[in-house]
Amino acid sequence: MPTYTSLKFIDSVGKTTLSQQLQDNLVEFFSWGLIDKGGFFNVNIPAVGLYGGNKHQLRLVDDPNYTAGQVWEGYRNNWVWESGLSTVTQPIAISGVFVGGSFHPATGVGAHAHHIDYPNGRIIFDSAISTTNTVTAEYSYKWIKVTAANATPWFREVQYRADRLDSSHFSNTGSGDWSQLGQTRLQLPAIGIEIVPRRSFKPLELGGLSQWTYTDVLFHILTEDEFTRNKLVDIVSFQQEKTIYMFDVDKIAQSGRFPLDYRGMLSEKSVASGALNYPNLVTVSGYRDRELRFSSMSVQQMDAISPSLHLGTVRGQTEVILSQL
């Protein structure tokens, strides 16, 4: 078929386009980069909160998708599933859960069989257990939530004071700060990454079809204090002229090697062969795609929306090469 009758830079409308590839890669790069620099906390048994309460104790969740007694969550969501960090202290590999003081492994069967929902920081039992049980676990959580901005819809509520385990709201299932489901509750600090609908092109070379492609990106930073906001604004903006490798989302999907499955737990292939974290995905033997370079990083906004909500915005540009297929 002659080239003048076909679209360029795309071989199938079913494949992931550049905007989505950029968003997925930037979320994974910053999420990994932050925990690899120590941006996580380990919760051991026992672990007392700064203001009281027990960090290791899970709370009963009133989730309409499950029977009462099936879902129990930690005080922080976004649990760490990654391993092999460059930090001296490593995240806790969750091996199971304690019910009434008795340990039940994650690989167990029977009345206390369960799976781990890492993104929402929950233990979900296959069958409901007594709602009067005391459920505890050792886990690690990511201090900073990195997410696609469009994955934070209008109905997602910012949760303040997530560290206040001494609050009576923590044990309530029908009201208070903890009444919303974890998947509709945004804990701070957080970075929302937005691919801006602004793009430009420049030929890579004379006579060639490949082009430099420049796409604008916004990093929306939300924190509960000015100090943390300024720290994250610095970290993001300091990536000026940083070059990284992207991974191919479609190839990962075809191979079935996404680290987590639709339930938020480690996928069967992750359990069998090891979960692929960001460095694994971008190796030559992994799913490496093209290079990406950050440029034009600038701080656009620094505001205090309220005494407990501080906003910072960093605008940048990504540079990648698109080649004719």
Q: Which of 79, 7, 20, 3 is nearest to 248 (CA)?
A: 20
- Shared-domain flag, residues 23 and 44: no
- Shared-domain flag, residues 108 and 132: yes
Name the domain boundary from 83, 109, 142. 142
Name the domain boundary from 83, 114, 142. 142
Structural domain range at position 259: 3-37+190-322
Q: How far apart are CA 183 and CA 324, in angstroms?
A: 40
Q: How far apart are CA 79 and CA 192, in angstroms?
A: 18
> Pairing mode, if any, of strands 96-99 and 243-247?
unpaired
Per-residue pLDDT tens digits for 13-57: 888 888 999 999 999 999 999 999 999 999 999 988 777 789 999
Q: Residue 304: what pLDDT?
A: 92
| 8 A C-beta contact, residue 282 and residue 246 | yes
Q: How far apart are CA 120 and CA 66, in angstroms?
A: 15
- Shared-domain flag, residues 197 and 116: no
91 falls within a domain: yes
- Shared-domain flag, residues 81 and 22: no
- Shared-domain flag, residues 231 and 312: yes
264 falls within a domain: yes
Q: How far apart are CA 150 and CA 286, in angstroms?
A: 28
Name the domain boundary from 142, 171, 198. 142
The DSSP element (H or E) to which 35 belongs, if any, is helix 18-36
Per-residue pLDDT tens digits for 126-184: 999 999 999 999 999 999 999 998 866 543 556 555 555 555 555 555 545 545 555 56
55 falls within a domain: yes
For residue 273, what is the domain's CATH number?
3.30.2000
Query: Model's pTM, two decimal places?
Result: 0.87
| 8 A C-beta contact, residue 226 and residue 50 | no
281 falls within a domain: yes
Per the structure block, which two tokens stand in for 306?
Answer: 């309220």
202 falls within a domain: yes
Per-residue pLDDT tens digits for 182-197: 556 788 999 999 999 8
- Tell me how many helices (H) and strands (E) the chain has: 5, 17
- Shared-domain flag, residues 109 and 18: no
Distances (CA, A) of 292 to 84, 88, 97, 138, 241: 24, 29, 41, 37, 10
Average confidence (pLDDT) over 86-106? 95
| 8 A C-beta contact, residue 291 and residue 312 | no
Q: Residue 48: what pLDDT?
A: 84
159 falls within a domain: no
Structural domains counted in the chain: 2
Q: How far apart are CA 227 and CA 209, in angstroms?
A: 47
- Shared-domain flag, residues 15 and 98: no
- Shared-domain flag, residues 230 and 259: yes
- Shared-domain flag, residues 240 and 293: yes
- Shared-domain flag, residues 129 and 231: no
- Shared-domain flag, residues 231 and 133: no
| 8 A C-beta contact, residue 112 and residue 99 | yes
- Shared-domain flag, residues 233 and 286: yes
Per-residue pLDDT tens digits for 244-271: 999 999 999 999 999 999 999 999 888 8
